Structure 1
Amino acid sequence: MFFGGVRVIPWLLERVAHMHSRELFILVVLVITLGTALGAAELFGVSLALGAFLAGAIISQSHLSHQVGADVFSFREAFSVLFFVSVGMLVNPVFLWQNLGQVLGLTALVVFGKLLIVIVMAMFFPQPLRTFLVIAIGLSQVGEFSFILGQGGLSLGLLSVEQYSLILAASLFSITINPFMYRLVDPLERLLSKVPVFSKRAQKRLPTPLPAEEKIKDHVVVVGYDRIGKHLVDVLTSLKIPMIVIEEDIDRIVELQEQAIPALYGDASNSEVLDQTHLEKAKLLVSTVPDETATAMIVSKARTLSPTLSIMARSSSQEGVIELEKMGANYVVLPELEGGLELIHNALLELKFPLQEVHAYTQAVRRDHYNLENISNEEHRSLDDLLAAFKGIEISWMNLEADSPLIGQTLAEAGIRSKTGASLVALIREGQLLANPKSQTIFLAGDRLGFIGESPQIESVRKLILAEIQAETQA
C-alpha cells in the first residue's frame, strides 16, 4: 500500500493543485488521509491511527507536503488536544500512588533497557559512539505511539486495564525525565571509551553533513511570482543572490523548478509555510502579493518570526501603506502611485533639476505615503527656488579628444572659466569620477568633462575644446 501510494498520491495532489482550487485541494487531502486510514484498517486489520500514520508518510513524499501541512494544521492541533485529553483521562492518580514501585520499576526498565539496546547496537555499526549515545537517550522513553498500541492490546483483551494504566504511568514518567537525560551523554562517552570494544569508536569523528536548513542563510524570500516577482527573481538570479520563492500557482512552481530555483508551493500568509523559509537567517523578504489582507498577514507573521528582518511589501491603497508600515514593513510600494511619482521624477530631471534634489523630493513623497497634500510648503518652495536658480543653466558632458589643445595643460593653464564663463564641476577618467577638479589637474586624452553654465557659455566651452576659439583669435 505504501509503495503504491507514494507513486499515485503525489501525482494526484499535483493534478489537483493545477486546478487552482484551494477548497478542492483541502478536500482531496482529507479524503486521502481518511481513505488510507480506513482502507488500511479494513484490508490489513491495523488500527485507524496506524493507517493515518501511513497516509502521512505517503503524503510527505510529495513536494506539496508543506502546503498540506499548513492546510491541516488546525485539524492536527485539535486532534492532538483531544488525544492527550483522552489519554490523561485514563490516568488514575490513586492507582499511580498505590503502584508507585511498579511504575518506577517499569520506567527504569524502559529507559535503561532501551538505552542499553541501542548502545549494544553501536558495536555493529561504524558510526561514532557519541552518535549512538544521543540516539539512545532520545529513544529512552515511551513514545506517544505506544498509547495507540496499548489501546489496541486493551481492545483485543491482551492487556488488562491495570496493565494499561501501568504503561500510561510509565510513559508519563519517561517522557518527563527524558530531556534531563541528555546531560548523561558526556559522562557515558567517557565511561564507555574505557571499554575496549568502544574505545576506537569513541575516538572516531566522522564529518557531520551540514543540515539543509543551516546551508540557507543571507537569502531573499520572494513571496509571489507574478510579473513583478518574476522580474525580481530574474535580477536576483543574475546577481547570484540566494533566494526562496513562495507561490500559490502550481504552474509557476513547475516553471521555477525547471530553472532550478528553490520554491515552495503554498500560501505565505500561513506561518507553517513561512517557517520553511528560515526567515531568521534571511536578509530580506519581498512580498509582491496584490491582496492587501494577505500581505498584512505575511508582514505580521514575518515580523514575529524575525524581528530584525528587512521587509518590503506591495500595497493597493494609501491606507494600506500606513497599516503595513505599522505592522512592521520597512518599505511599502504602491504601484499605481509609484508610476506617477516616477513621471514626476523624470520630468524634474528633464527640467534640469539636480538629481540629488529630485531624489530627495520623491523620497519625501514616499515618506508621506504618496500623499502630495502632505508635502510641506518649504519642500515646494525649495523646488521653486531650484527652478529659478537653474533656469537657463545646463550641465553638459564632453569628451576630450587626442587632438584637443587642452591636452597636457592644467586646469589653471587652460583658463576655461575666464575664457568661457562656464565651470568644470566633474571629470571622469578611467571610470573614476573626480568631483570639482583642482587647478593642478592635467587634462588627458579620453577624459570626460562635466561643465555647468548657461547655454552660450557651454557653447563657448565646446569651441574651446575643438580649438575653434584659438582659430578665431588668430584670424
Structure 2
Amino acid sequence: MDHDFSLILTFVGGLAAALLFGLIARKLHLSPLVGYLLAGVVVGPYSPGFVADSHTVEQFAELGVILLMFGVGLHFHLKDLIAVQKVAVPGAVVQISVATVLGVLVGWMFGWSAISGLVFGMAISVASTVVLTRVLEDNQNLHTPGGHVALGWLVVEDLFTILLLVLIPAVMEARQSGAGDWGGILSELGWMFVKLALLVALTLFAGKKVIPLVLRYVARTGARDLFTLAVLVIALGVAVCSAEFFGASMVLGAFLAGMVVGQSDFCARAAAEAMLMRDAFAVLFFVSVGMMFDPMSVGDCWPLALATLGVVMIGKPLAAYVVVRCLRRPVPLALSVSVALAQVGEFSFILAGIGLMYNILPPDANQAIILAAVVSISLNPILYRQIGPAVKWLQKRGIGFADPGGVNSMALPAPDARRVVLVGFGPTGRILKRILNDNGVEVIIVEMNIDTVTAIREQGGDIVYGDASQREILRHAGIEYAESLILSASIPDAKEIVGVALELNPHIDVMIHTKYMRDVDILKEAGASQVFSSESEVALSMAEYFLREGGADDEQIVSERQRIRAELDREMPGVSVAGHS
C-alpha cells in the first residue's frame, strides 16, 4: 500500500528545523521567532536540500493564525486597557499614524501607489506581542508602569489590526466585484458591517449562554482530553462559521471566540489547554513566513529593507517617545515603551500576506518586512538592556528629568522629624505605611505610577513622583534626614537605588524586599542593611504551618524558626525570614 508522506514530512521537517534554529537563537540570546523565520528560509523553495510543501505549510500556518488569534482574544481584557488608557490609547493612535505616513512616504520613494504605501505603513506600524512580552519578562519589567503601558498599547494595536483584517478584504473584494465607485464600495461595507454586527451579537450571546454551559458540562466529566477538544472545537468552529456564514475572516472569528471564552470562569484552563496546540501551529506560521523569503533578493531589495528598518527602529520609537513625554510621563517610562515597540512581528506578516493576496503590495515589500523583522527582533532585547545606562547618562546631565507639572512641589516635614523613605506603594508598601504611621513614623513615598501619585496627593499624603534611582528624587524625598530607606517591592534597579541613597546619607538603614535569595549577596554588597527574601519567608511560613498542624507547640516552632534563621544568616548574612514572635 503506497503512502503519501508529503504532509507528515512537511509537518515534522518544519517543526524539526524550527526546533534546531530556535535553540540556536536562544543560545545567542535572541528571540526564538528569529530561529523560526530562519528555519523557514532553510526549508523553503529558495534554499537547497529538503524543501517543505508550501501549500501544506500554509494550511498548517492558517491553523496557527487562528489559534494565535484565539489566544489574543483569551487574554484581551478591556480593564487592562482602561487602566492605562490615558497613555496607551493616544500613544498607540499617534504612533500608528506616524508609522503609516512614513510607510506611504517609503512607498512613494519606490514608485508604489498610495494604497500600496498605506497598507505597507499599517503593516509595519504594529509590534509583536510575543517579542514584547518576552523582553519585558526577561528584564523583570512586565509588572512595572512601563510594562503595563506597553501591554495596553499592544491591545490598541491588536484592535487596529483586527479592524484592518476586516476592512481590507471587504474593500478589495468590493472593487474586484465591479463596485468600483465610492457608492458601491460604501454599500458593500455597509452590508459587511451588518453581517459583522450579527456575528458579534450571536458570538456574545453564545459566549454568555451556550459556551459556558458546554464547557461546564465537559469539565464535570473530569476528562482533560475532552476539555481540550471542546476548546479547540469552539476556537476552530467559530472561526469557520464566521467565514462560511458571515463572510468574515476566520481570524476575526477566532478572536471573538477567544474573547467570549476569556470572560468566562474557564479562561485560565482554556488558555492552558489550547497553549500546546497553539504554539506548535504558530511556529509553523513563522516557518511559512520564512519560506517566502528569497535570500537572493537581498541584493535587489536592500534599499527598501533599510527604509523599512528606519521606520521600524527610528520612526516608530521616536513617535512613541515624543507622545509619552508630551503626556508628562517620565523619561524611563518613555524609553521603556518606545524601545519595546521598536520591532515588527506576527500581525505585520498577516497584513502583508493580505496585501500580497490582493496584489496591493509588490513581492519586494514582503521580503523587506521579513528582513526588518529578523533584524529588529534580534536587536530589540539588546537595545532594551541599554535603557538603564541611557537613563543614567541623561540623569547625570539633567536631560529630561524636570518635575512634570510640579507634581513633586510638596511641603516636606521638618528635618528633625522621624522619617522613612518608602519606595513602591503596592500592597506591601500600603501595609508598611499604615503600621509605621500608627507608630508615629513619618513616611515619604516614592512612586513611579503617576495615577497612584495623583490619588495619594488628593488624599493629602506625602508622595514623590519619580524614579528612586535618581539622586534628585531621593533628595526631594528627604533622604538626607531619613533614618531608613525601605524598598517594599522587588525592584530591578535596587542596587543603584542603594548606592545613591548611601551617597546622600551614609548612615541610613536600608531594608530591601527581593523575590529571590540569589539576589541577596548582590544587594548586601551594595550596602543594604537587611534583605527580606520572599522565597525564604514563604518557605518558613509554610514550614511553621506544617509543624503547627502536626501538633508542635509554640516553643518548638520558635526554636525551629531561630535555628533556620541562624543557618540562613551563616549561609547568606543579612537575609531575613518572617516569623511570628
TM bin, normalised by shorter chain, reads 0.3 to 0.5
More strand by share: 1
More helix by share: 2
Structure 2 length as normaliser, TM-score? 0.33
**CA radius of gyration, larger in:** 1
